[in-house]
Amino acid sequence: MQNGYELLGEMRRALATDDAPTLRRAAHTLKGGSGMYGATNLADICRKLEDSAREGVLAGAAERIAEIGAEFERVRAALEREVGAQDDPIPPTR
């Protein structure tokens, strides 16, 4: 998930140059990372983009990338909250 921003940038650049294979690879990579973290909704959106790019269909890809970006931010924030909660010190007992 650390390179999620890089992958989103790669998706945007690939779409701007009509590079379906690069778009497919970036979506595939983010899908795998998302699945490892249990971010199934993000993984599903990435899978849909990956499938479309595999077919060479880029219509609607900009909207899908925007959706991926928004979901990525939700996942990132949730992970940060989870990590923060684990880092909170245990209150002393009296």
Each residue's pLDDT tens digit, 53-70: 999 999 999 999 999 999
Cα 2 from Cα 5, distance rounded (Å): 8
- Residue in 70, 75, 17, 23 with CA at minimum distance from that of residue 49: 23
Residue 84 confidence (pLDDT) = 77
Residue 93 confidence (pLDDT) = 56
| Average pLDDT per consecutive 10 residues, the chain (94 residues; last block may be shorter) | 88 98 98 92 98 97 98 93 69 54
Residue 90 within a domain: no
Burial 15-28 (b: 16+ CB within 10 A, else e): beeebbebbbbbbb
Angle between helices 20-36 and 4-16 (to 10 degrees): 160
Q: Which domain, by its residues, includes 23?
A: 4-85
Domain count, the chain: 1
0.75 exceeded by pTM: yes
Residue 91 within a domain: no
- Residue in 17, 14, 3 with CA at minimum distance from that of residue 65: 14
CB–CB of 30/46 below 8 Å? yes
Residue 39 within a domain: yes
Residue 94 within a domain: no
Residue 65 within a domain: yes
Residue 82 confidence (pLDDT) = 83
Residue 81 within a domain: yes
